[in-house]
Amino acid sequence: MSDEDRNYWDKHARNYDRSMMLLGRPIPRMVELAGEAVRDVPRVLEVAAGTGLVTRTLARSAREVVATDYSAPMVTVLEQGIRDAALDNVRCQQADIYALPFETASFDAVVAANVLHLVPELAAALVALRRVLRPGGRFIVPTFCHDETVLSCLVSRALALTGFPGHRRFTAEGLRAAVETANIRVTRTELIPGLIPVAYVEGELGPKVVLRSSRRSMFDPPSSGKSSFAR
């Protein structure tokens, strides 16, 4: 992640939850589905946990959750929220999605909610998430789909004018294609309506394959939309 992107999230850590009042219509259903997916799962990694909108539900479903974010101020807010909720099965730490400090195949599920449209290098991010997931583990990547509707396209372009650090505009079809290209067997999809809809995509890790890791990659199929937030 670039320093510019990190600075954006550092700056917005305290008011992130308020910003979700505008775009948050899909969030309750997204959180519900993610919670169902990790029920009784022994060990879950959450990346881009932010302020913990998803974390608390994951913690009430799974046995152990490691919640990470690459913004230190976000992790500070996250830790306070976990303490306030009195959850003792969550460990919070700062970590970059491209350099996760965990052993290979050390998690039973990986949750990356509303982050894949933000990463500069999608292929590298998917490779990093695959690495820490055990074979057969659950891969859960609900994502805002900025190119799904005419309205969401317009809202997305307005966001770009504010400096929002997006790097691609997905459709639900494009997100699923990207996940499948990463050799994840998709087991569940649901498009959740909203000002910008969220595509809930869940799958299982298949056998190991060699994946390319480049800025313009096989993970940006034509149906996923532009590879950057061009205005």
Reading the block at residue 85, the tokens are 């909720």
DSSP, collapsed to helix, strand or coil, labels residue 46 as strand
pTM: 0.85
Confidence (pLDDT) at 212? 41
Distance CA 177, CA 39 (A): 26
pLDDT in tens, 54-96: 999 999 999 999 999 999 999 999 999 999 999 999 999 999 9
Confidence (pLDDT) at 206? 77
Please enumerate in sequence order all residues whose Cβ is within 8 A of that of 91, keeping only pairs 6 or more positions apart, or say none. Answer: 64, 65, 66, 67
Which domains, ranges and CATH numbers included, belong to the chain? 3-224 (3.40.50.150)
pLDDT in tens, 199-217: 999 999 976 544 443 333 3
Residues of the chain with pLDDT below 50 are: 9, 209-227, 231
Pair 175, 223: CB distance under 8 Å? no
A 10 A CB-CB count for 155 gives 17
